Amino acid sequence: MMDDTLLVLTNLPDAASAAKLAHQIIKAHCAACVNQLAPCTSTYCWQGKIETASEVPLLIKTTVAAYPRLEALIHAAHPYELPEIIAVTVTAGLPAYLNWVSQETNESLRDPHMNLPKE
């Protein structure tokens, strides 16, 4: 069960877009929990220039099975041209919590009539 759990990270430009994406992710059962963190400062190279921006990180708890749906949703709904979507395998955790993550991301819970956001 532990190797099936992922912690996915993405950053958004502001709290409103982060909250909106978090809600979409949970509503679609692509993750069991999304933590919206305090804004941080990111420094990166984009199109040959060093950039610095304020961003709002999301920590997303999901499973390997739900990851493709999660990635597709984030990519379609994210305001950035090239969004950060990084998944890290969870190697240890409270078994009951990891089981809950698995249950909440079960494909059978997803509304089949709910479409992913359009790009």
For each of the domains in the chain, give its residue range(s) and CATH number, in order of start: 2-90 (3.30.70.120)
103 pLDDT higher than 60 = yes
118 pLDDT higher than 50 = no
- Say whether 87 sits in a helix, a strand or coil: strand
Quote the mean pLDDT of the chain.
Answer: 92
The model carries a pTM of 0.88
Integer angstrom CA distances of residue 98 from 25, 34, 35, 40: 18, 14, 16, 28
